[in-house]
Structures are given as C-alpha cells and as structure tokens.
Structure 1
Amino acid sequence: MNFQRLDSYPAPVRIVLFLLTLLLLWLPIAAPLHLIYGASVGVGLTILLYCGFLGLIGVWGRKVSQYPHPYRYYGLSFTKKNGLEFLCGWGLGTITLIIFYGLQVILGWLAVQTTSWQEPLPARLLPMLGVYFVDWQGAIAPGMLTSLGVGFAEEVLFRGWILSELERDYSPRTALIGASLVFAILHFIKPLNLILATWSQFAGLMMMSVVLAIARRRREGRLGIAIGLHGGLVWCYYIVNTTHWLKPTGVAPEWVTGISGNPIAGIMGLLFLMAIAIGFTLLKR
C-alpha cells in the first residue's frame, strides 16, 4: 500500500478512509458474534471497536502520517504532568457543576428531595410520605467509571485524532469549528422527534467541544486536562441524573436551566461553558 499517497489526501478523505479501514477490520469479528449472541454482546463489541481504533491510530500515525510518536502527537502521553492536568480538569468539571446546581438551588429553581439512608420503602408509599431513597453507592462509583470511559474515549477520538488531522490541513480556527461540528452532529444521530425536543443541546455540544479543544491547546497539545474536564462534568451530571435528588421547581423555564435536565441544553449551561472557555483562553501556558 502506498502510505505516502494516503497522506496526500485532504483531511476529510483521510478521516473517511481511516474509518472505513477500521470497519473492515472490525466487522468480520463483530458480525458473526452479533448473529450468534445478539444484543447481549453490544457493549463488548463497542469496546472492541474502540480498542481497534486505539491500535489503528498508532499504525496510521506511523505509516501514513510518519509520526515517530503518534500517540504523543494526538495528546496521549503518560507523564506526571499530563496526570496532574487530568486531576485538575476533573476537579474543575466537578466544581463547575456543583456551582451550577448549587446556584439553581439558591435561586429556587431546583429543590433538594427529602432522602432516606435506609432501605427504600415500597414505591407506592414514597409520594405519600415524601421520602426518597438515594442510592449514592450505586451512583458515585459506577458514575466515576462511566465518566472516565466516556471522557477518555471521546477526547482521544474528537479532540485528539480528528482535531489533529484537521489541524494539518486547515487553520486552527477552521479545524476547531470542524471538529466541534463533527462532535455535535454525531451526538445528534437520533430520531427526529428527539432532535426537535432537544435542539438547544446542539449549541451546548458545540460549545463544550470548543472548550475542550481550547483546554488541550493551552496545555501544549496534551489531552489530560480535556479528559479530566470532560469526565468531571459527566460524573457530576451522572450522579444528579441517576439519584434524582434534585427536582426542578418550575420557576425557571427549561431553556434557561437545560432541557430535560441536561446542563448544556440551556442558556445557563452555555454561559458556564463560555466562562470556562474565556478562562482557558486567558490562561498562560
């Protein structure tokens, strides 16, 4: 195969060819397993696909792009500095949503549910007694694992590989907008009725991608802070969303607080993301 010829193609073509190569490697394994075991292996096949992606970007980076250290180029460097930046990002994401929800509680837009630390009562009694069981153990640890996986997977894919490929051919601003559009569009692949119901989330996804890309750029291309920030935001939202211990009061409209409780699907969430983006922009390297 003429790898140098592949490298001469425009970035969108390179990205499509890479993804087609990944699918050609994955489908011969995934298709038979899905036919035999059905949907029960869906999670495993998704993990297999992503592992294939991680392996292929290393081969692609060396053979096609001629990078001596492709993972480092895409922002993955297992160093103390990157690890500390990951922790800082995680803390920033968590604290941001704590302030986000705390401010809404203070303003009366959210109400804290009455909770019980005992075993949950029968569901039919809960509304009458006003007692709600919050399974913190079932939210905090699983939420941390989920958010870590989501943060790592999406940052390596979108702010690592795709953004880096676009930056090779386009200006930093154009690459940033392109990578953010890809991120938002791929998250919006769902039925039309859901797209219409959550339309404001698109702007939030775009803004979130911009924030995470700026975070990476301010750290000399390292992904640690972006992975941490993404993971911290997802973790805090996961806990609130699964425990249901914060309830909207109806005082503020959803387009302000976030449609369906999603922080990035409202004006308030966009303002918080803009504040983080400005902070990173002003931050010295």
Structure 2
Amino acid sequence: MIRRPVWARLVAFMLTLLALWLPLAIPIHLIWGEYEIVNFINGALLYSIFIILLRVWGKRVHRQDQPLQFYGFVLNGPMLLEAILGWALGVAALALLFLIQFSLGWIDWQGIPPQFSNVLLSGLITGVGVGFAEELLFRGWLLKELELDYIPWFALVVNGIIFALLHYLHPPEVIRETWPQFFGLVLLGWNLVLATWACRGRLGMAMGLHGGLVWAYFGVNIGGLIEYNGSAPEWMTGINENPIAGVLGCAMLLGLGTLFLTRIPKPQ
C-alpha cells in the first residue's frame, strides 16, 4: 500500500472534517446566533464527527481493524489506571508548585470560598473533557500520523509546536496578551508525548495528566484560593498569573518530562 506524505494526510483529514461539520454548524449558528450553548453544541458536534472520521480514516487509510486502539485509545483496566495516576500526578505537580511559591512568600492564601464544591465539579467536567478531546486529537491522531513518517524525536518536537500554535487561534489582542505562555505550551505538549510513550502509546496517562492540571488550575484560579502579592517578578511566577508562563512552571514541566523520560521502555 502506498501511503501519502504526512502533511498531505493531515490536510486531507482536516478538510474532510470541515466539509462534514460546516454544513451543519453554519445553519445552527445562523438560526440561534452567538450563545454559549450554541458554541457548545457546535463544538460537541465537531468532536463527534472527528471521532467518527477517525474510525473511518484508520480503517480506510491505515487498514486498521481497531482504529481507535491504533491511535492509542484503549478502554481497558491499564489505561484507566494510567489515567487516574496521570490525574493525581497533574494535581500533585501543580499543588507542589503553589506550595513552593507560598513557602517563599510569593502568594497569599485566601481561604476556601463558599460553594467551592461547585467550582471543583465544573473543573472536573472541564478537565475530563479537555484531557480526552485534546489528547485524542494531538497525542492520538496527530502524533501517530507524524510517527509514521518521522523519527520519534522529530515527531515529538513537531507535535509540541503544533499543539502550542493551535492554542493561538484567537483575535490579535488575545494573542498579544497570552504569547508568553507559548514556550510553556510547547513543553506541556512534549510532556504529554513522553507520557504517551511511557505507556507504550496508550493515551491514559496523557489524558489524566492534562485533565488533572486543568482541574487543579481551575480550582485555584476560578476558586480564588490564592492571590499573588507582587513580591516576586511575573516572569518567575507566571505572566498574567499563568503558571506555565513563568520560570517556575516551566521548571515543573521539565521535571515531569525527566520523570517520563526515565519510564519510556527501551527498544528490544
């Protein structure tokens, strides 16, 4: 079987996805307008079509009987355990980061607000959704397509850069405000690739780690648990109060990456 080059496959996949989604999404938007629920419906519709297309793509293009398993999604005990461990690791890493800052006197504890359980529940739903959706897309489909054409470490580098760049599909003013987190996003993407490799291509650890980081940050940020007191520069703690836009947050990601590197199985 002759396989087309990776960039041709990526473009073909994305164009097919848009061709299937836009005829449904545009009428929904025109009829009901700019409402949060409309954006949610269109987003859910897009991802549902993505999963269906992924199954068809894996069977037709790569001749896989189990396409989702081919892309790393294996719904079994080991993957579930890895997802739980990844979630715990993400929460622990972010908790350690804030504990260090608190011990250094850089942040002040604000206490637990009323109805904090609602914040945690909202964060849980967000974390599970983001972890599943982004990891199946970036460390599942995209990483596998890159690995088929490139050596592993080049695939890792490209995957992390694409992951970071696609977080900047925003108006120019938003891009200007959030650009300092770019390197941190690249590091996060590389960590999630290493987490996938450490689990022999299964996505559980990456999904859990990503979701746990989102949940922990959601709880701290939306819950208002801490407040930066200005005793340390933003480039150290995180520009715009985003941990991965600061030296300390990037150091945390480097530490996680080192941990995953030691867990990657050696070639037989």
Partner of residue 12 from structure 1, selected from 1, 4, 7: 7
1:259 Cα deviation from its structure 2 partner: 1.0
Identity of counterpart residues, as a percentage? 43
List structure 1 runs of 4+ shifted beyond 2 angstroms.
Answer: 189-200
1:69 paired to 2:66: yes
Structure 2: stretches of 5+ with no match in the other structure: none
Residues paired across the two proteins, number: 263
Give the AA of the match of 1:232: G
Structure 1 residue aligned with 2:255: 275
Structure 2 residue aligned with 1:46: 43
TM-score using structure 2 length: 0.95
* Alignment map for 1:100-249 (pairs within 5 Å): 100-114=97-111, 133-249=113-229
Root mean square deviation of aligned Cα: 1.3
CA contact (8 A) 2:194 2:264 kept: no
CA contact (8 A) 2:236 2:246 kept: yes
CA contact (8 A) 1:214 1:277 kept: yes
Partner-residue secondary structure (3-state), 1:53: helix
1:203-225 deviations in Å (ceiling 9; x for gaps): 00000000000000011100000
CA contact (8 A) 2:197 2:264 kept: no
1:198 Cα deviation from its structure 2 partner: 2.8
Give the AA of the match of 1:230: H
CA contact (8 A) 1:26 1:52 kept: yes
1:34-56 deviations in Å (ceiling 9; x for gaps): 11111231110110100100110
CA contact (8 A) 1:264 1:270 kept: yes
Structure 1 residue aligned with 2:32: 37
Structure 1: stretches of 5+ with no match in the other structure: 116-132
1:86 paired to 2:102: no
Structure 2 residue aligned with 1:126: none
1:9 Cα deviation from its structure 2 partner: 1.7
1:178 Cα deviation from its structure 2 partner: 1.1
In 2, the alpha carbon distance for the partners of 1:252 and 1:138 equals 31
Greater alpha carbon shift after TM alignment, 195-204 vs 87-96: 195-204
Distance 1:197 1:42, change over 3 A: closer
In 2, the alpha carbon distance for the partners of 1:170 and 1:284 equals 18
1:10-54 deviations in Å (ceiling 9; x for gaps): 111111111111111111111111111112311101101001001
Give the AA of the match of 1:9: R
In 1, the alpha carbon distance for the partners of 2:178 and 2:109 equals 25
